[in-house]
A and B are shown apart, each in its own frame.
Chain A
Amino acid sequence: MHTSRQVNQSADLQYSTVLWEAAFDANKNDDDTEEADLSDEEMREAHGPSLEHSIMVARGGKLCIRVRDDSWILPGTVFVSHFDSVSSQGGKGPIEESGLVGVGDFLVRVNGCDVVGKGARHALALIKDEASADSVSLTFRRLQTSSISREGNRIRSEAGIHLTEQHRVLMFRYLLDSKPIDKRRLASLAGDGIPDVDKHLRPLAWRILLLYLPDEVSLWDAHLKQERAIYYQLVQELTIMTGPAASCPPSASGHVINESEDQNFRGSWRAGDASPRLDTPLCALSSAPSQEGDARNTAGSMKATDPNLTFCQGHPGSAPPLPRSGRGSGELDVSLGSSQDRLPTRPRFDADRSLFNEIRKDVVRTHPDQNFYQDQTFGTARYDALLRILFIYAKTNSGTRYIQGMNELAGTLFYVMSRDSDQEWAEHAEADTMFLFAQLMSQLRDVFIEKMDESDTGIESKFEQLEVLLERHDPTLSKHFRMIGLEAHFYSLRWITTLFCREFTLPDTIAVWDALFADKDFSDFILYFCLSMLMEQRQEMLRCSFAKCLQSLQAYSPEAEMKRLLHRMRSLRAQDSASGFRVDRRVGEAATPSTSRVRNYFSRVSSRMRDDVPIALGSFSTESKSHLKRAGAQLKASFGSMRKLIGDSMSVLPSPGATGGAPSTT
């Protein structure tokens, strides 16, 4: 039957608490009415009866099951909180043994009597009602899986269910406390946003969703300890902290380094002083070994041989503090070497300085509108931490190194990690951010790496794919864009590489990231979200010229409602997945993708990039105009090996799951 196939197929998909809730609510009195409320046929299919299990247990035996009724769904709803073992040896009870029931499943009927919403006591009384029969029939229902699980809002509103923030907090706490953590369910919940009320939920959930934390909760401590130690050691080996060594300044906002770290390291946290001073003249850097990475050769003092290095620029003995409010400070203060030097970290090796300076230049212009980074007391220290994060990442991922835009990503992660209400976690925000960032980059690096530009997963392909999607879902808008010559590369590069954090406010960005990290397919999510953003503005776009369109896409409307954008993204995706359409398979075969070849404006000048690497996009190959840079890349088929090459040269650090795959559900 179709239904069962559907269910089997979706077994790996995310749980749909939402759907379940809807069913539950509708189901209060009569089981059969639930389907009527869910008008969509798909929904009915997804909510097949097969995920309800009845179990007969003979009276007199032990059930070995605990149920609770402080459920988040409906008051008095009963769910399995845990199993007891039959014996001291830990044997399973009959219900657990059946394999059909798991922690978190709902008890919906006892001996045919509906117990939903009636509370655990009521259920227990029925179970213990010896007068009834020789055996007890228990019916459990498991949270449903469904490809349309993201229809959350609509289903909820149809079913008249409104989850309060508090409900959601409870759900998260329950999930995060359970062992093992049900990642699929967590992903499903997180996809609709992680409550902000409890500031520990998101940092923890992101660590789990991005696969930084191992599945096995009991391994967390050891894992974290090891990872963090690696990070701190790398920081020590590769950088030098200047500034007065001082007593540890733990802050409410959690910017403390592990106490086991040495004075040098901890000293850096004093950087937030109103007037940070550098104890050592910057020119007196330790001499750099010619080979980077030679940690031992640090003796001697360096002469300022390279005048280009901002380190060596003379600057006043006591530099003024980093500008806070921006009145008449800005450009110089943050972009000149002299003021950048106020970030107390510097590279240990001469050879790293240009990389270091490159990163620093961007770090001090990351989220400049956020108090978090402009804070009088901690702003500088936070930028300094961000600098170390990116620097360590670049050093340990030489294939990716540092590319502009990464600062935005790491800056956002660090913001979230630092705001953890649990002090113990917040203390390691910096180290954990580095690993989370590495995890994130394992999904994203192809769009960052220039060598991958024209591969199937590179940025150019993303442009193509977005245009194919636009053509598919909004031919009118696509046609208009073609007519005015507005191609995806004009507006979507930043959207894609910085994961929208430059287009939206921080809370909105975080909402997108909640959903993204919970998603199985980053690439799809990103593309469809871009599409949703385009379609959101379509009315205005259709009326506008090239310049107007581009301007409004580059400064995306603050009025766009995040919920609507996410909702549209999901329904567009669901639409395509229902019809079996995959954009990454389509682009290659589209002889003339919807990308416009109108060259009214800045024409793509495709030849300059493409002639040397004629990938399977027929329309791009033009006569060759040789570029030294790409001369070696003649072979069409070289992308695979190139990718491997890049991959091989990356990641010195052990980062679990860094080799890609789904971030949230495996």
Chain B
Amino acid sequence: MANRGKQGAQSKYDHLIKLLLIGDSGVGKSCLLLRYSEDSFTPSFITTIGIDFKIKSLPLEDKKLKLQIWDTAGQERFRTITTAYYRGAMGILLVYDVTDERSFANVKNWMRQIEQHASESVNKILIGNKCDVDPADRRVSLEQGRKLAEEYRIKFFETSAKENVNVDEAFYTVARDIALRIDNEVDLTASGKNVKIGPGVGPAGGKECC
């Protein structure tokens, strides 16, 4: 597709993908989103109250995805309010801060929230943010993060919103997996216009025939 995520063509997309960012307060969820959606990083970032919302277009192979990304407040108080958004989410990015061990320890609580409130098929991804820090300030190693993600059988990235490390990759990965899952579901139910024969989905961004 020639036009890649241009605003003007916003209404034209193949998939609408709803993503949700969760994790403890201050781990950098809003910064990740800002980096991803506007490719910028601002020091004057602010506390998210309730939820925030951004959209981003993403070309994927020959398709165009429209991402709706929901950014949530991390504080416990907002938990009941934000869990309302879980169910509609197709993908959840669970973020912790590599300099904050507690945020890492809380991952299991967040996973529980997901189990309780999100749909079963939701795609999850674990993100350890602020990986650009001085090693002396780091409290959670890459290995710990990776191990935990393996336990949950979900994908894992260490990112830096500040230095723009792995941010696009993380979002892209989850968005692509969702798109593939949806295509697959369409195939299975044969309700879509693109009825395919065979699995149609390769591992990691496999090609699709349309």
Known: A331-B130, A551-B54. A489 touches B84 (CB 8 A): yes
How many residue pairs link A and B with beta carbons under 8 A? The number is 151
Nearest 8 Cβ contacts at the A-B interface = A330-B43, A326-B43, A368-B44, A493-B50, A602-B88, A308-B102, A494-B49, A361-B26
CB neighbours (8 Å) of B176 from chain A are: none
Question: Which listed residue, A307, A407, A453, A605, touches B86 by the CB 8 Å rule?
Answer: A605
CA distance A545 to B42 in the complex (A): 28
User: B43–A602 contact, CB under 8 A?
Assistant: no
The 8 A CB mask of A347-387 against B (1 = contact, 0 = none) is 00000000000100110011011000000000000000000
Question: Which listed residue, B25, B78, B101, B117, touches A358 by the CB 8 Å rule?
Answer: B25
Tell me, rounded to whole Å, the shortest Cβ–Cβ distance linking B88 to chain A: 4
CB neighbours (8 Å) of B87 from chain A are: 602-603, 605, 608
User: A608–B45 contact, CB under 8 A?
Assistant: no
CB neighbours (8 Å) of A599 from chain B are: 88
Add 6 more A-B contacts to A335-B130, A337-B137, A450-B80 (CB < 8 A). A326-B44, A335-B28, A361-B26, A404-B75, A602-B87, A605-B88
Question: Which listed residue, B47, B55, B86, touches A551 by the CB 8 Å rule?
Answer: B55
Q: Which residue of A lies closest to B11 (CB)?
A: A545
User: B162–A609 contact, CB under 8 A?
Assistant: no
Interface residue tally for chain A (C-beta within 8 Å):
58
Known: A331-B28, A450-B80, A551-B55. A336 touches B68 (CB 8 A): no
CB neighbours (8 Å) of B105 from chain A are: 308
User: A550–B53 contact, CB under 8 A?
Assistant: yes
Tell me, rounded to whole Å, the shortest Cβ–Cβ distance linking A304 to chain B: 12
Question: Which listed residue, A326, A329, A332, A604, touches B130 by the CB 8 Å rule?
Answer: A332
A421 at the interface (CB under 8 A from B): no
Known: A313-B99, A358-B25, A403-B77. A368 touches B47 (CB 8 A): no
B141 at the interface (CB under 8 A from A): no
Q: Which residue of A lies closest to B84 (CB)?
A: A605
Question: Which listed residue, B44, B48, B73, touches A369 by the CB 8 Å rule?
Answer: B44
CB neighbours (8 Å) of A336 from chain B are: 99, 130, 133, 137
CB neighbours (8 Å) of B88 from chain A are: 599, 601-603, 605
* CB-CB contacts below 8 Å: B84-140 with A: 84-89, 97, 99-102, 105, 116-117, 130, 132-133, 136-137, 139
Interface of B with A (CB < 8 Å)?
11, 18, 25-26, 28, 31, 41-55, 68, 70, 73, 75, 77-78, 80-81, 83-89, 97, 99-102, 105, 116-117, 130, 132-133, 136-137, 139, 161-162
User: A547–B137 contact, CB under 8 A?
Assistant: no
26 A-B contact pairs sorted by A residue (CB < 8 Å): A308-B105, A313-B139, A315-B137, A326-B42, A326-B43, A330-B41, A330-B43, A330-B44, A331-B28, A331-B161, A334-B45, A335-B28, A365-B46, A368-B46, A450-B80, A493-B50, A494-B50, A498-B49, A547-B53, A602-B89, A603-B88, A605-B83, A605-B117, A608-B80, A608-B117, A609-B83
User: A330–B162 contact, CB under 8 A?
Assistant: yes
A581 at the interface (CB under 8 A from B): no
CA distance A358 to B77 in the complex (A): 12
User: B51–A453 contact, CB under 8 A?
Assistant: no
Tell me, rounded to whole Å, the shortest Cβ–Cβ distance linking B116 to chain A: 8
CB neighbours (8 Å) of B70 from chain A are: 602
CB neighbours (8 Å) of A361 from chain B are: 25-26
Known: A323-B43, A493-B50, A494-B49. A404 touches B83 (CB 8 A): no
Tell me, rounded to whole Å, the shortest Cβ–Cβ distance linking B143 to chain A: 17
A320 at the interface (CB under 8 A from B): no
User: A314–B136 contact, CB under 8 A?
Assistant: yes
